[in-house]
Structure 1
Amino acid sequence: MTNQPIVCSFPKHNTDTIKENWYEDYFNDDYWNLVYYSCSSIEITENELSFITSILEESNASTVLDLFCGIGRHANRLSEEGYIVTGLDIDPNTIKIAESSSESHVDYIVSDARDFTTNNKYDCCLLMQTSFGYFSDIENQKLISKKFIHY
């Protein structure tokens, strides 16, 4: 294990005109190449998963909703570990990458998390990276108030 920090700089985008669905332009191929090949090394993913699985084991969790799952690096690995996983992301291209790199079954869904509804209840709702907080405070509160997890 190395102690060297990984330096990540994200692609620059024109901020003069920010459109409502800004994430459609921001999360482009340049972004995913950077995340996949630089910021999300196998070592980092393994360390994150070690922490996540310790929490899941401690709480006897078996079902996981990975909101804003991106390319599925956590969802796929959790599924390989035996968890029942649903991955949700708004970008169909990232879902395609996630599906193509999965070695076990993950129920991938293309949807805006704000519009997502399900009758399923999960033991854990996973939000990795910086996806939470992209929306307005009101939209964030609505997302939090959705009852994805059974208590």
Structure 2
Amino acid sequence: MEGRFESNWEAVFEPEDYLYFYEDMLTDEQTQIEVDFIRRELDLKDPKKILDMACGYGRHANRLALYGHEVVGVDISEKFLEMAMKEAEKLNVNVRYVLKDIREIDFEEEFDVVISMFTSFGYYEDEDNLKILKNVAKALKRGGKFLLDLSNRDFILRNFLPYVVIEREGNYMIDFNIVDITEGRIYNKRVVIRDGVKKEKPFFIRLYAPTEIKFILESLGLKVIKFFGGYDSSPLSIYSRRMIIISEKV
């Protein structure tokens, strides 16, 4: 992309605005669909030790704990983690929440499963994204599985929208999108107008081709087992909104 683009992903995930505009999408019903998918496709019949990377406010971590799993959630947002801990207390589950940048986690062969849900990966330069995946490989026990849930690049390119507007109660979140296929990125000059206050929240997301992410994961010793196109376990296609990859540490 020509010119300097200042990414501010911390502003993007500022809890008040994020949850306000995404509330209709992040319902309890949708969360249960996603958790059911995780349990089904990772065969979580017996208790496992699970790492939820960039766990946000714990909507997956807390529910997985309800099924008897030992869960660790890591996120960089103190406010999100406070919300996650309050919900865990309400549900009477014990989840260990860690305030940390996922680029800096340092677990070693500790987990049966690592999950990264709802496009919570790909907001950094390629070297840092690779570092995160190296951290995943290091954190997993041999035979452990990694579930990586991303937006499907081919769907985005096929259905590209230069701008998207979400309106709620007279407030607006406006995404101005630019795709750079040479860098494999979508740049979003997001503007939020809420209660008469305008905030700019620019960010980019790395868009991986299936062959590319497969090559990267397998170069780190994470053998790709399956690609899915959604939480209904449908196969990945150019029509799929999601690209969900399950790999196993060899």
Q: TM-score range by the shorter chain?
A: 0.7 to 0.9
Q: What residue number does 1:110 align with?
A: 99
Q: CA deviation at 1:56?
A: 3.3
Alpha carbons 2:74, 2:97 under 8 Å: kept: yes
Q: What residue number does 1:150 align with?
A: 141
Are 1:121 and 2:110 counterparts? Answer: yes
Are 1:31 and 2:14 counterparts? Answer: no
1:30 & 1:90 partners in 2: Cα distance?
17
Alpha-carbon deviations, 1:26-75, whole Å to 9, x = none?
Answer: 1121112233x211111111111111011333685601000000010000
SS of alignment partner, residue 103 of structure 2: coil
Alpha carbons 2:103, 2:132 under 8 Å: kept: yes
TM-score by length of 1: 0.80
- Structure 1 residues 141, 17: closer, same or farther in 2, change over 3 A? closer
Are 1:75 and 2:61 counterparts? Answer: yes
Higher strand content, 1 or 2: 2
Alpha carbons 2:47, 2:70 under 8 Å: kept: no
Alpha-carbon deviations, 1:83-139, whole Å to 9, x = none?
Answer: 000000000000000000112000000100001113461111100011111111111
Instruction: Structure 2 unaligned segments of length 5 or more: list them.
Output: 143-250
Q: Report the residue type matching 2:17 in the other structure.
A: D
Q: What residue number does 2:74 align with?
A: 88
TM-score by length of 2: 0.50
1:81 & 1:59 partners in 2: Cα distance?
9
Report the identity percentage: 32
1:105 & 1:58 partners in 2: Cα distance?
18
| Structure index of larger Rg | 2
Q: What residue number does 1:11 align with?
A: none
SS of alignment partner, residue 101 of structure 2: coil
Match of 1:48 among 6, 18, 34: 34
- Structure 1 residues 58, 88: closer, same or farther in 2, change over 3 A? closer
- Structure 1 residues 17, 105: closer, same or farther in 2, change over 3 A? same
Please say which of residues 67-76 and 133-142 is displaced more in the overlay.
133-142
Alpha carbons 1:88, 1:108 under 8 Å: kept: yes
Are 1:57 and 2:43 counterparts? Answer: yes
Alpha carbons 1:56, 1:62 under 8 Å: kept: no
Higher helix content, 1 or 2: 1
SS of alignment partner, residue 150 of structure 1: strand
1:61 & 1:18 partners in 2: Cα distance?
43
